[in-house]
């Protein structure tokens, strides 16, 4: 089964040129002008008796009003129920004492409004004429949620499906490991949601979170749009004035620190051809830091699009499509990270270039040209952000939440313009620490491990940031590929029975994004193959007649040649393991892994195109439990005996970030006429 995606991009370019009346001296860069003056939009505010702080930003461009409520609470440890806070936030709008989820959704849609909830926020927006309707709904979800059990079950199922999909996503895996390393599992930012923690969540957990933290006295409400303070105040009083305030617990946590020396964290991604590479560590960095703006400017030079890391790793070395860095502020603890997706073969070289650039910005003053260009980019971004009234709302709330100077944003461009190259170097020396960093590499561990040793002590982790102790390597002793495949053949029913299988028909049923599909494969005498894909949109066939291969679609037939033809020829073989001795040079015993909680031998097969396919055989049962190819993997299960031979009855496929469950029915030695495999 193969999939292809064609991405079509349409790019429109508009170029205009203006000529100056007198000749310019292009050998000299123009002197920078004075920092432009930007008028920060005005806001008005008031506080209700229950402590709710309200900010009103009038903007009459369109007759629409948006309401953004934010809770200012400390992050929380969730321990064995990681994920319950986010789920509680999702459940706010799934039913109230007065309305069902269906009624809420219907009323929101009827007036063309928006209503979203999360663990610490509620957002609503509508045309001004629907103000009462949308505020009624917003107040309902804020004050009267009921957390229905059936909705919790639905959200848990969706969340677990997402977690399963992320188990095969190298970027998600890297995020998990980075979080655990930078913060530790006893910090709110270092906890990772798993299938088990989601299953542990109850309605009572969600209710307890809501009752403890949804209080007006820790909330900020920004109102933006076609509304005045005089109009807003009675509305907020009416709908949220009786929202009861209460005591909210505060929480403190140990301050995470960067490692004393550089450490390398490797995470296995089977059959990966690229490495997700990240250099990261925690860093105390907050919005109210005196050098906050200097840190942002330094990172603009180091790791934004077109900056040093990008030019080095992409433009100069060709290691990646893009390399970037972030210096993120947070009220508890910030983080620095520099990352790229690089080819496996250049993982160590890319790491060296990351460390080189991090050290260079510490040791050398940035050039006047770099400084000027970075300031211009940041000035432009800031000026464009002012076009949105929501920006003014965030400025108002940030000023109050983080105790910023009243002119923090009004003087932004002026302060940015005054930053010098010496200050950039000083702030780099404060926040950039390549010798005290975690280097996280998610990819083909065997291919990169030896070369990564020069950067620091290596520890291997699993996809959730746990130290991967691996499986006892001694299990590889006294065995071989031939012994493993012979045990597999015996587990299926024995060589004699398998050799009597001349034809096979497999029916696989599955659903992709709600669309049911059937895949029917036919194999005959190891020489002929047909795969029929049936969907509501039509039928497609791939057929191999023993010599030629073709793809048949409603649009016509397309011959398959080269690698595609070789793959079809390979798929025609019913039990390829029976032919091990003919292809012994293509097999290799490469590792022992834990699959579905049990140790399994990893056998690597190199196909005719040179691609490596990993097969995992359960050590105890001998059965094949997983197959991993460069672009997908399949977990096999529930083997059933058909005519004395075992076939998997279920499969779990992961392709392009999606997890798909499939059911399989096998038929042994059906009558398959040669005409079935016609390529005409």
pLDDT of 184-213, one tens digit each? 999 999 999 999 999 999 999 999 999 999
Q: Are residues 432 and 497 in the same domain?
A: no
Which of 622, 660, 652 is closest to 636 using CA atoms? 652
Q: Are residues 294 and 205 in the same domain?
A: no
Which of 106, 115, 80 is closest to 194 using CA atoms? 80
| Mean of all residue pLDDT scores within the chain | 90
Q: Look at residue 555 and give its three-state secondary structure.
A: coil
Residues of the chain above pLDDT 70, percent: 94
DSSP state of 35: P
Q: Find the Cα–Cα–Cα–Cα dihedral 507, 511, 512, 514, rounded to 10°.
A: 150
In a domain, 161, yes or no: yes
Q: Are residues 384 and 335 in the same domain?
A: yes
Task: In whole angstroms, give the CA distance from residue 386 to residue 249.
Answer: 36
Which of 345, 335, 347, 308 is closest to 324 using CA atoms? 308
Q: Find the Cα–Cα–Cα–Cα dihedral 193, 198, 200, 202, rounded to 10°.
A: 120
In a domain, 258, yes or no: no
Q: Mind spelling out the 3-state secondary structure of 187-235?
A: CHHHCCCCHHHHHCCCHHHHHHHHHHHCCHHHEEEEEEECCCHHHHHHH
pLDDT tens, 106-137?
A: 999 999 999 999 999 999 999 999 999 999 99
Q: Are residues 343 and 276 in the same domain?
A: yes
Residue 458's φ and ψ, nearest 5 degrees, are -100, 135
CATH number at 106 reads 3.30.830.10
Task: In whole angstroms, give the CA distance from residue 392 to residue 251.
Answer: 30
In a domain, 249, yes or no: no
Query: What are the tokens at 205?
Result: 């957990």
Q: Are residues 502 and 618 in the same domain?
A: yes
Residues facing residue 277 across a β-bridge: 340, 441
Residues spanned by the domain of 95: 44-168+191-240
| 329 pLDDT above the threshold of 70 | yes
Q: Are residues 450 and 514 in the same domain?
A: no
Q: Are residues 79 and 142 in the same domain?
A: yes
In a domain, 638, yes or no: yes
Residues facing residue 122 across a β-bridge: 69, 117
Residues in the chain, overall count? 680
Q: Which of 42-51, 136-145, 526-535, 609-618 has the lowest mean pLDDT?
A: 609-618
Other CB atoms within 10 A of residue 235 CB? 18
Task: In whole angstroms, give the CA distance from residue 372 to residue 407.
Answer: 24
Q: Are residues 647 and 518 in the same domain?
A: yes
In a domain, 17, yes or no: no
Radius of gyration of the chain (CA): 30
In a domain, 370, yes or no: yes
Task: In whole angstroms, give the CA distance from residue 652 to residue 595.
Answer: 13
Residue 409's φ and ψ, nearest 5 degrees, are -85, -30
Residues facing residue 45 across a β-bridge: 55
Other CB atoms within 10 A of residue 76 CB? 16
Residues facing residue 511 across a β-bridge: 516
Task: In whole angstroms, give the CA distance from residue 133 to residue 129.
Answer: 9
Tell me what the mean pLDDT of segment 385-393 comes to: 84
In a domain, 494, yes or no: yes
Q: Which pLDDT score is estimated for 450?
A: 96
Q: Are residues 457 and 513 in the same domain?
A: no
Q: Which pLDDT score is estimated for 218?
A: 97
| 9 pLDDT above the threshold of 50 | no
Tell me what the mean pLDDT of segment 665-676 comes to: 95
Task: In whole angstroms, give the CA distance from residue 94 to residue 86.
Answer: 14
pLDDT tens, 62-113?
A: 999 999 999 999 999 999 999 999 999 999 999 999 999 999 999 999 999 9
| In contact, 138 and 122? CB cutoff 8 Å | yes
Q: Which of 166-170, 175-179, 247-251 has the lowest mean pLDDT?
A: 166-170
Query: At 238, which helix (H) or strand (E)?
Result: helix 229-240
Q: Which ranges of 364-434 does DSSP label H, i.e. alpha helix?
A: 368-385, 389-401, 412-418, 421-431
Q: Mind spelling out the 3-state secondary structure of 32-94?
A: CCCCCCCCCCCCEEEECCCCCEEEEEECCCCCEEEEEEEECCCCCCCHHHCCHHHHHHHHCCC
Counted domains in the chain: 3
Task: In whole angstroms, give the CA distance from residue 383 to residue 232.
Answer: 28
Provide CB contacts within 8 A for 363, sequence distance 6+.
none
67 CB burial (10 A radius; 0-12, 13-18, 19+)? buried
Instruction: Count the helices and strands in the chain (H runs, E runs).
Output: 19, 25
Residues facing residue 609 across a β-bridge: none
Task: In whole angstroms, give the CA distance from residue 60 to residue 53.
Answer: 23
Residue 331's φ and ψ, nearest 5 degrees, are -65, -25
Q: Are residues 511 and 418 in the same domain?
A: no
Q: Are residues 514 and 642 in the same domain?
A: yes
Among 418, 436, 461, residue at a domain's last position:
461
In a domain, 25, yes or no: no
How much is the pTM?
Answer: 0.80
| 59 pLDDT above the threshold of 60 | yes
Tell me what the mean pLDDT of segment 478-482 comes to: 92
Q: Are residues 630 and 484 in the same domain?
A: yes
Task: In whole angstroms, give the CA distance from residue 627 to residue 613.
Answer: 7
CATH number at 566 reads 2.50.20.10
Task: In whole angstroms, give the CA distance from residue 645 to residue 668.
Answer: 8
């Amino acid at each position: 089964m193969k999939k292809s995606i064609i991405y079509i991009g349409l790019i429109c370019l508009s170029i205009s040129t203006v000529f100056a009346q007198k000749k310019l001296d292009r050998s000299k860069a123009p002197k920078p002008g004075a920092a432009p003056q930007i008028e920060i939009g005005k806001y008005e505010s008031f506080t209700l008796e229950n402590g709710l702080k309200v900010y009103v930003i009038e903007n009459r461009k369109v007759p629409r009003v948006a309401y953004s409520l934010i809770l200012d609470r400390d992050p929380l440890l969730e321990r064995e129920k990681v994920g319950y806070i986010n789920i509680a936030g999702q459940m706010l709008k799934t039913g109230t004492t007065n309305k069902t989820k269906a009624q809420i959704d219907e009323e929101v849609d009827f007036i063309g409004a928006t209503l979203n909830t999360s663990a610490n926020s509620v957002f609503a927006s509508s045309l001004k004429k629907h103000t009462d309707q949308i505020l009624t709904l917003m107040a309902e979800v804020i004050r009267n949620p009921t957390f229905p059990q059936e909705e919790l079950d639905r959200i848990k199922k969706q969340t677990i499906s997402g977690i399963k999909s992320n188990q095969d996503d190298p970027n998600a895996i890297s995020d998990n490991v980075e979080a655990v390393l930078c913060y530790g599992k006893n910090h709110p930012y270092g906890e990772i949601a798993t299938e088990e923690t989601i299953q542990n969540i109850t309605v009572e957990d969600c209710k307890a979170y809501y009752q403890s933290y949804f209080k007006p006295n820790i909330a900020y409400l920004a109102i933006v749009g076609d509304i005045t303070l005089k109009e807003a105040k009675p509305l907020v009083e009416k709908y949220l004035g009786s929202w009861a305030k209460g005591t909210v617990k505060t929480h403190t946590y140990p301050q995470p620190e960067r490692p004393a020396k550089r450490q390398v964290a490797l995470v296995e991604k089977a059959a990966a051809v690229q490495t997700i590479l990240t250099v990261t560590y925690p860093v105390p960095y907050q919005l109210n830091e005196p050098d906050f703006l200097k840190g942002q400017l330094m990172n603009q030079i180091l790791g934004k699009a077109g900056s040093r890391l990008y030019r080095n790793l992409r433009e100069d070395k060709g290691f990646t499509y893009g390399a970037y860095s972030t210096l993120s502020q947070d009220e508890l603890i910030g983080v620095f990270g520099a990352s790229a997706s690089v080819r496996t073969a250049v993982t160590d070289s890319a790491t060296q270039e990351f460390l080189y650039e991090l050290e260079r910005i510490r040791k050398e003053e940035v050039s006047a040209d770099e400084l000027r260009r970075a300031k211009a980019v940041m000035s432009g971004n800031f000026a464009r952000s002012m076009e949105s009234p929501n920006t003014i709302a965030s400025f108002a709330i940030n000023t109050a939440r983080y105790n910023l100077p009243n002119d923090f944003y009004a003087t932004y461009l002026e302060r940015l313009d005054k930053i010098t190259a010496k200050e950039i170097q000083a702030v780099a020396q404060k926040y950039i620490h390549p010798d005290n960093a975690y280097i996280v590499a998610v990819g083909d561990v065997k291919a990169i491990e030896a070369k990564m040793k020069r950067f620091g002590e290596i520890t291997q982790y699993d996809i959730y940031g746990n130290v991967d102790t691996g499986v006892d390597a001694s299990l590889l002793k006294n065995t071989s590929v031939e012994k493993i495949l012979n045990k597999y053949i015996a587990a299926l029913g024995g060589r004699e029975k398998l050799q009597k299988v001349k034809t096979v028909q497999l029916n696989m049923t599955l659903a992709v994004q709600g669309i049911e599909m059937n895949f029917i494969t036919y194999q005959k005498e190891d020489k002929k193959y047909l795969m029929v894909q049936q969907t509501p949109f039509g039928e497609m066939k791939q057929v191999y007649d023993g010599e030629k291969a073709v793809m048949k679609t409603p649009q016509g037939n397309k011959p398959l040649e080269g690698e595609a033809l070789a793959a079809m020829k390979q798929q025609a073989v019913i039990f390829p393991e029976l032919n091990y001795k003919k292809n012994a040079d293509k097999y290799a015993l490469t590792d022992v892994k834990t699959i579905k909680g049990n140790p399994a031998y990893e056998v690597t097969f190199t196909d005719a195109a040179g691609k490596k396919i990993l097969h995992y055989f359960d050590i105890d049962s001998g059965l094949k439990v997983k197959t991993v190819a460069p672009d997908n993997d399949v977990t096999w299960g529930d083997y059933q005996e058909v005519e004395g031979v075992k076939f998997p009855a279920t499969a779990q496929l992961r392709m392009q970030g999606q997890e798909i469950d499939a059911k399989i029915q096998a038929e042994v030695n059906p009558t398959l006429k040669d005409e079935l495999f016609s390529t005409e």
